[in-house]
Each structure stands twice: as structure tokens, then as C-alpha cells.
């Protein structure tokens, strides 16, 4: 297996780069989704703590708009991840098809030597899984030393995404803490003792570093496991189909 990887090093480097890019982009999207989900839960918890929330939520469309903004970002992030995941599957399938075609003589030799198609397919799939695992390992090491910087930049990116989705009236409220709109909105806090003000209620992302790190670790390993399994299955099935076609061609 190692000798095969050394011989096909260009393919190995390309697959590793594709895998690394997929892992980083997918992890970023999933963490952005979780940040917005956490912010939405915090908003709902704070709103529920206000005795007059039920009375004012229908009278203040801003609250409904904010919920829709958060939910839209969460849904969009999930759609982007789904596209990335299955796009990665298509890219793996295309790469497999190309390299199997280039390695026709190699697989022919395996068949002439009497090697079972399942064995050569398994070896091919394990090679790809090893390449994917190496890419994931490199990403894990890099993140180990730059996790704080990455998570801080991610929080800024999440805030930017949120700001871009805000309607004009909410944007005005975000930039100013005074005015007629705030006077009406602050009725929510009339005779209420809270640890937050209107600005925090509406715009706080609530990013907790410990929770953030837990989410990062959980999502990274879950993403690595699922993507690695996807890579293995696609590679194995591609090689099995290719071996079957070669066997038919050789029989004729």
C-alpha cells in the first residue's frame, strides 16, 4: 500500500488537499450554524424570563424579525453543508474514476496474478482512507495550535453574516442605543430586573469559549468520521465496479 501511495504521489497530494479544504470549509459552516443556534436559544431564554414577553412579542414585530434572521442563517448553513458534503462525494467519485482509468494496467496485473477483485478494491479504498486520515491529522495539528485565533475569527464572521441579514430597522437599532424605536422596545424592561439590556437581548451572540471549544471538538471528529467513511465506501464501490468491467473485458 505504501509503495502504491509513493508511486501515485501526485494523486495522493491532490486528494489530501481536497479533503483538507472540505474539512475546513464544512467545519466552519457547521460552527457558524451552532453559533447562531446558541444565540437564538439565548434570545428565547432571555425573552421568556421577561414577565411581559407574551404580551409584547406580538406587538413588537422586531422580535419576530430577529427570530427569522437567526433561523434563516441556521437553515442556510445547513443547506451549504449539505451541498459541500455531497459535492465532496462527487469530487471523490470523479477522482476515483480518473485514477482507476490511469491505473488500468496495474489492476489488470492484479487480475492476471489471480488476486480477487474485492482484495484490490479494498486496498484502493484503504489507500484513499489513509490519505484522507493524513489530511485530517494535519488539520487537527494545525487547529491545535491556532484554535483560539480560528474561533475568534469565526465569531467575527458569524457576526458579519448576522449583520448582513438584518433588516434596516434592526440595523438602526444595532448602531444606536437611543431614539423612538428604543423607547418603545424598552417597555419590555419596565419594572423588570434583568442582567441584560435591550441591546444584549437582540444582538448578543452569547459565544462561550468553553462551549465553543466543545462544539469544535465534537463537530471536527464527527465530520472526520463521516467523511472518512464516505471516502472509503465510494472508493471501494468505484474499484469494485472498475474491476468487474476489467474482468468482462479480459474475458472477451
Q: Return the domain boundaries, the chain.
A: 2-251
Indicate the average pLDDT of the chain. 80
- Compute the distance between CA of residue 106 and CA of residue 131 in angstroms, rounded to an integer: 19
What average pLDDT does this structure show over 147-175?
Answer: 80
Which residues lie below 8 Å from residue 70, measured CB to CB, with a gap of 6+?
A: 36, 37, 39, 40, 43, 162
What average pLDDT does this structure show over 96-107?
Answer: 82
Backbone angles phi, psi at 112, to 5 degrees: -65, -30
- Compute the distance between CA of residue 136 and CA of residue 19 in angstroms, rounded to an integer: 8
Report the percent of the chain where pLDDT is more than 90: 32
- Compute the distance between CA of residue 215 and CA of residue 41 in angstroms, rounded to an integer: 15
Degrees to nearest 5, angle at CA 211 with 138 and 142: 15
What average pLDDT does this structure show over 190-212?
Answer: 60
What average pLDDT does this structure show over 175-188?
Answer: 60
Evaluate if residue 251 carries a pLDDT over 90. Answer: no
* Confidence band of 250 (pLDDT split at 50, 70, 90): low
CB atoms within 10 A of CB 251: 6
SS3 of residue 50 by DSSP: coil
For residue 102, what pLDDT is reported? 81
Question: What cell was used for 243?
Answer: 474491476
Evaluate if residue 126 carries a pLDDT over 70. Answer: yes
* Confidence band of 147 (pLDDT split at 50, 70, 90): confident
What average pLDDT does this structure show over 102-108?
Answer: 75
Lowest mean pLDDT across 83-87, 116-120, 207-211: 207-211
Of the candidates 165, 168, 166, 162, the one whose C-alpha atom is nearest the C-alpha of residue 181 is 168
CB atoms within 10 A of CB 175: 8
For residue 235, what pLDDT is reported? 94
What average pLDDT does this structure show over 232-240?
Answer: 93
Amino acid at each position: 500500500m505504501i509503495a502504491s501511495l509513493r508511486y501515485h504521489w501526485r494523486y495522493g497530494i491532490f486528494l489530501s488537499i481536497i479533503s483538507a479544504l472540505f474539512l475546513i470549509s464544512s467545519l466552519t459552516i457547521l460552527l457558524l450554524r451552532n453559533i447562531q443556534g446558541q444565540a437564538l436559544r439565548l434570545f428565547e431564554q432571555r425573552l421568556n424570563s421577561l414577565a411581559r414577553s407574551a404580551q409584547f412579542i406580538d406587538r413588537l414585530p422586531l422580535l419576530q424579525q430577529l427570530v427569522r434572521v437567526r433561523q434563516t442563517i441556521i437553515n442556510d448553513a445547513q443547506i451549504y453543508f449539505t451541498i459541500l458534503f455531497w459535492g465532496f462525494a462527487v469530487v471523490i467519485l470523479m477522482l476515483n474514476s480518473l485514477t482507476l482509468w490511469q491505473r488500468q494496467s496495474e489492476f489488470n496485473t492484479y487480475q492476471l496474478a489471480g488476486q480477487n477483485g474485492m482484495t484490490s478494491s479494498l486496498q484502493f479504498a484503504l489507500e484513499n482512507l489513509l490519505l484522507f486520515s493524513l489530511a485530517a491529522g494535519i488539520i487537527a495539528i494545525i487547529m491545535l495550535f491556532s484554535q483560539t485565533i480560528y474561533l475568534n475569527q469565526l465569531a467575527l464572521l458569524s457576526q458579519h453574516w448576522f449583520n448582513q441579514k438584518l433588516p434596516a430597522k434592526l440595523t438602526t437599532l444595532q448602531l444606536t442605543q437611543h431614539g423612538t424605536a428604543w423607547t418603545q422596545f424598552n417597555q419590555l424592561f419596565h419594572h423588570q430586573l434583568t442582567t441584560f439590556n435591550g441591546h444584549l437581548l437582540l444582538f448578543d451572540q452569547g459565544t462561550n469559549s468553553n462551549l465553543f471549544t466543545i462544539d469544535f471538538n465534537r463537530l471536527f471528529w464527527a465530520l472526520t468520521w463521516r467523511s472518512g467513511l464516505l471516502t472509503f465506501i465510494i472508493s471501494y464501490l468505484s474499484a469494485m465496479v472498475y474491476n468487474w468491467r476489467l474482468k468482462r473485458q479480459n474475458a472477451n
